[in-house]
Amino acid sequence: MNVATLLSALATIAWVAALAVIVLAVTRAARGQRFRAAGGIVIGIIVLALILTTISAGLVFIQPTDRGVVITVGEGGVRPEALQPGLNWVVPFLENVIPYPISRQTYTMSIAPEEGAIRGDDSVEARTSDGQIVRVDASVIFSINPAQVVEAHIKWKGEYIDNLVRTVSRGVIRDAVSQFGVQEVVTTERFALLDSIQTELDAAFDEGSLILHDFVLRNIAFSDEYAASVEQKQIAEQLAQQAALIVQQRAQEAEQARQVAEGQADAAVIEAEGRAKARVIEASAEKEALDLIASALRGNPDLLTFEYIQKLSPGIQVMLIPADNPFLLPLPELEGGLTP
């Protein structure tokens, strides 16, 4: 409790005490009892109450987060300088102090009924450059310029939130959104949109004796019709991507089958080439063998007859002689004891 509040409480107590003494004196007088000191006590308490009331009316305590604008009966109606934090003195009953907060304040405009400064849907409805309607949720963080509190009071009479923050912010948001297409405000140009709004608001707030600390672009919502069309487009794009993946998969499978077939064909060719080479080698060997046999026969014609005899069955025991031999030789005994 500050001194001004304490003095005001003491003044109130003094007035109550003076009233109580007056009531007591009247009651005793009605009963025929005299209260000789009543007059002096009442006068003393009233004087004390007047003094305390006057002092408490002149003392004003300003909080560290506030500045005080003094409304006076003097020229201009307002003191040119705001009261600083602490205990200050004003002319009792002739000057009045209006405190203004200089700490940061947040004003939110939201589509959610319980989030914004105003209950219900307080989002900013804006139209993009291509004619689509969007709803913008935003928060403005600001404060009164401590050096211009008196000017802010003169300009806005305490209505700076409704007449400056809300009104100007909504107008600037609508103007900025109208410079971009509906896809740009949520994708590639979102930061450009944010910078444009901040620049415009900073200039407007500075002119209105306020300081813009930050602008928060909370959300951008489409209309129901556009949201439905975007959803359908996304579904179509997903289906197209899925079809493209299937085509790509089929192409990969076809390429894999082609490579397998090509490998099998190459293997068959290699195998055929191998068999052909083997056959050539075999034929070449056979030719060389036949050439050797032919050469041997040319040098010794009886060799063929010898080879013929060698091929006969080993079980036949017979003497073979040339056809032109005039001699007949006795045959040896056959195996097993048989005679011819």
- The overall average pLDDT reported for the chain is 81
Per-residue pLDDT at 41: 77
Q: Which range, of 10-24, 30-44, 151-165, 321-335, averages the lowest pLDDT? A: 321-335
- What is the Cα–Cα distance from 47 to 50, expressed in whole angstroms? 5
Per-residue pLDDT band for 126 (boundaries 50, 70, 90) equals: very high
Q: What is the mean pLDDT of residues 153-177?
A: 94
Q: What is the DSSP string of 19-81?
A: HHHHHHHHHHHHTT---TTHHHHHHHHHHHHHHHHHHHHHEEEEPTTEEEEEE-SSTTSB-SS
- Higher pLDDT, residue 325 or 256: 256
Tokens of 90: 């004003």
Of residues 143 and 77, which shows the higher confidence score? 143
For domain 105-222, the question of CATH label 3.40.605.10 is answered with: no
Judged against a pLDDT cut of 70, whether residue 236 lies above it is answered with no
Query: pTM for this one?
Result: 0.61
Q: Where are the domains of the chain?
A: 3-101, 105-222, 224-313
Across residues 169-178, what is the average pLDDT? 95
Q: What is the mean pLDDT of residues 35-43?
A: 70
How large is the average pLDDT for residues 41-67?
85
Which whole number is the average pLDDT over 33-62?
79
Helix (H) or strand (E) holding 127: strand 124-127
Q: What is the pLDDT of residue 35?
A: 61
pLDDT at 224 over 80: no
Q: Is the dihedral of CA 284, 290, 294, 300 positive or negative?
A: positive
Q: How far is CA 270 from the centre of its chain?
A: 60
Q: What is the pLDDT of residue 325?
A: 55
pLDDT score at 311: 65
